[in-house]
A and B are shown apart, each in its own frame.
Chain A
């Protein structure tokens, strides 16, 4: 028996054990989800800058690539790799291909369309001097950034990124924690990041951060109420709280906002569209407010408050707040995509068709579909930020308590009436 066979048999034995199968698949899913979130934090910073540049009619960071000089430093003998390559393929240096390559700066760097920019930002922030003012409350000053970055990462555990696969060892459900209270888990855990903002404002022991912390607390609590109420119509339609079941329902019966397939395009389903669209609008606005993004970035509004709750932070602690904000944005987008835009479902019956070919193929396609929807919604997030001006503080609170709360409550009754009388 060869070495390969031995290893293969050992793996099969290991996976045949129910406990090890569960542990290994969970850890793999956990690492995958974590990697996706972190990669999307980096990617959304890049998207933010490029889209900002695009909207404001300027290039944005499009140059940062991997300079070829770097490889020369590390001992690569080739001085001009582009010329070598041109010689290798027998292309003259004056022809249009060579000129195009030079124009694309291929002779100087490996182009990444600016994707290296977030990495450079990270390096810069990591190498900056860490400055802790002498008057801060040290313990809370230190744990506050962790409390901002941690919750969104934990909240990601319940978001399904593909359907399930039946292997010979058992069924792998493509969600890290398949619990019966999906959306509530995300609300609860991502709601905890308000502690980070509050403590950051308080422990900085200075006026502007304190005001920023107070604003963050008030805003997040206010919008959490409307946010929780706004998805109740949705849950009434799905009649389940399990995220995987919610997405499965949408895959079978049409996405919440696009009910084009499934049990026929009855007028009852179109009648339900009005309350669902209303709850989509309320929910998305609340997600914007929860993620502390413009037009709701009252807590760090630099015209009022210098830098808000993170005024006194520098280096990686500041970067933690920064990353936490983007992680919250990614999780918010994932939640909106899962609840309203069909999650991983490809739609139009493609899920079933792909599953009949191969479930692994279906899962891969669904994962890619989920990522595409996520990128699209992050683009929307950025688009709103660079289009709308910031609200005034009292307008934000009025909108939350006097408009969205009432609308959300009325929406619940409207949906109940439609479900009772029409369906």
Chain B
């Protein structure tokens, strides 16, 4: 059983993400919660980096850790809650009633994620999670073309945890030959993402943009003070 450094890093960051996510819920201080959430986002971004999806990872950091969470922190700081006070006025029964919907929703969601995860190829091979993902992504998503047989050997002895560059190059530009595609060394993930977003998923993209625009307009309309004069 050989370990690739990428697998060790994957487990380290996954553990970090989980611990931070738990700390978000259990922390008494809202600012601590927010900071833990930032760490959780950073760990998720690190996993995305490990998978070779650099653009997604950096967008995770820019949008979530850099903007949205800072706004959270901004609001939390303005409220100036020192520590969350426990409300003891509820009885046992009412506590149960209060918890049941939450438990139901989170349970169903967790089961869904678990089943989806366990069905992925290589999910049970715990010693090399990213390599298997590498192979299967090559087959599933962009593997209509022949993926290169031999996974590239990384500097640390394991398989590189990235999508197949040759298949990615072929996907981006179907006109090029297989020999030319095999020369590709890194994933043009920004180009791939842009191409897919503006061609295959264009309608969904436009609908989402309209939803965001509506949200923005709504926020402006709500926060705008209407002058009487």
**Which of A's residues lie within 8 Å of B, judged by CB?**
18-19, 22-23, 140, 179-181, 184-185, 187-189, 191-192, 194-195, 198-199, 201-202, 210, 213-214, 217-218, 220-221, 224, 228, 241
Contacts and interface: CB of A to CB of B under 8 A. Distances in A.
A342 to B, nearest CB: 23
B179 to A, nearest CB: 22
25 contacts: A19-B156, A180-B55, A180-B188, A181-B55, A184-B55, A185-B58, A187-B62, A187-B66, A188-B62, A188-B66, A191-B62, A191-B66, A192-B61, A192-B65, A195-B70, A198-B77, A199-B35, A202-B31, A210-B77, A214-B77, A217-B73, A218-B74, A221-B70, A224-B66, A241-B190
Contacts of B96: none
B119 to A, nearest CB: 31
Interface in B47-76: 54-55, 58-59, 61-62, 65-67, 70-71, 73-74
A18 B62 contact: no
Contacts of B187: 180
B20 interface: no
A19 B155 contact: yes
Nearest to A218: B74
A150 to B, nearest CB: 13
B166 interface: no
Contacts of B73: 195, 198-199, 202, 217
A140 B67 contact: no
A224 B155 CA distance: 36
Contacts of B77: 198, 201-202, 210, 213-214
Contacts of B155: 18-19, 22-23
A195 B70 CA distance: 7
A23 B5 CA distance: 14
B171 interface: no
B139 interface: no
A159 B34 CA distance: 31
B67 A188 contact: no
A189 B38 contact: no
Nearest to A179: B54
A189 B190 CA distance: 18
A26 to B, nearest CB: 10
B66 to A, nearest CB: 4
B186 interface: yes
Contacts of A241: 190
A114 to B, nearest CB: 38
Given A18-B155, A191-B62, A224-B66, A217 B54 contact: no
A191 B58 CA distance: 12
Nearest to A235: B190
A195 B77 CA distance: 12
A199 B111 CA distance: 37
Given A140-B31, A195-B38, A198-B77, A184 B58 contact: yes
Contacts of B67: 191, 221, 224
A228 B63 CA distance: 11
Interface string B135-159: 0000000000000000000011000
A194 B70 contact: yes
Contacts of A195: 35, 38, 70, 73
A217 B156 contact: no
B41 to A, nearest CB: 11
A220 B31 CA distance: 19
A397 B161 CA distance: 43
A188 B58 contact: yes
A404 B70 CA distance: 21
A198 B70 CA distance: 8
Contact of A181 (B35, B54, B74, B78): B54
